[in-house]
Amino acid sequence: MCMGLVSSLVRLVLSPQFFGPIVFPGLVTVLAVLLSIIWVERKIAARVQMRVGPLYILRPLGGAIQMLADGLRFFFQEFIVPETVDRVPFLLAPVVAMSFAMLPFAFVPLAPNFKPYTVPYSMPAFLGLNTVIPLTVLAMAWGSNNKFSIQGGIREAYMTIAYEAVLFISAYSMALLYHTLDFAEMVEAQKVPGILLNPISALVFFIAMIMSAGKLPFDIVEGEQEIVAGPFTEYSGIAFGLTMGIGYVQLYGFTLAFTLMYLSGWEPLVAPLYSIYPALGGILLFVKAYLLLVFIVFLRAVYGRYRLDQALRIGWRTLFPLAIVSVFLSIALGVIGVV
Partner 1 sequence: MFRGKVRRHVEAIATGLKYLVKPNRITVYYPEEAIVLSERYRGMIHYDWDKCISCGLCAMICPADAMKMYRKKGEKKARPGINYQRCIFCGYCVDICPTNALSFTRVHDVAFEKLDEMLYPPEKFTSEWRSPAEERGARRLRVVFDEERGLKHVPEQ
Instruction: Give, as ranges, the residues between 1 and 60 that touch partner 1 (CB under 8 A).
Output: 44, 47-48, 50-52, 55
Kindly report each contact of residues 327-333 with a partner whose C-beta sits within 8 Å and lies 24 or more positions away, as own/partner: 327/169, 327/172, 327/173, 327/176, 329/173, 329/198, 329/200, 329/201, 330/173, 330/174, 330/176, 330/177, 330/198, 330/201, 331/176, 333/177, 333/197, 333/198
Choose between 92 and 203: whose C-beta lies nearer to partner 1. Answer: 203
291 binds partner 1 (CB under 8 A): no
State the Rg of the chain over Cα. 21
Kindly report each contact of residues 124-128 with a partner whose C-beta sits within 8 Å and lies 24 or more positions away, as own/partner: 124/181, 126/183, 126/253, 126/257, 127/167, 127/168, 127/171, 127/257
DSSP states along 307-337: PHHHHHHIIIIIIHHHHHHHHHHHHHHHHHT
Choose between 101 and 195: whose C-beta lies nearer to partner 1. Answer: 195
Smallest gap from Cβ 164 to partner 1, in A, equals 24
Smallest gap from Cβ 131 to partner 1, in A, equals 28
Size of the site for partner 1 (CB under 8 A): 12
301 binds partner 1 (CB under 8 A): yes
Smallest gap from Cβ 314 to partner 1, in A, equals 11
204 binds partner 1 (CB under 8 A): no
Choose between 166 and 314: whose C-beta lies nearer to partner 1. Answer: 314
Q: How far is CA 253 from the centre of its chain?
A: 4
Choose between 43 and 288: whose C-beta lies nearer to partner 1. Answer: 43
Choose between 46 and 65: whose C-beta lies nearer to partner 1. Answer: 46
Smallest gap from Cβ 331 to partner 1, in A, equals 24
61 binds partner 1 (CB under 8 A): no
Instruction: Give, as ranges, the residues between 302 and 321 that touch partner 1 (CB under 8 A).
Output: 302-303
Choose between 159 and 314: whose C-beta lies nearer to partner 1. Answer: 314
- The C-alpha atoms of residue 104 and residue 291 are separated, in whole angstroms, by 20
Instruction: Give, as ranges, the residues between 213 and 232 that touch partner 1 (CB under 8 A).
Output: none
Choose between 62 and 237: whose C-beta lies nearer to partner 1. Answer: 62
- Among 305, 304, 255, 299, smallest CA distance to 45 is for 299
298 binds partner 1 (CB under 8 A): yes
* Site residues (vs partner 1, CB under 8 A): 44, 47-48, 50-52, 55, 298-299, 301-303
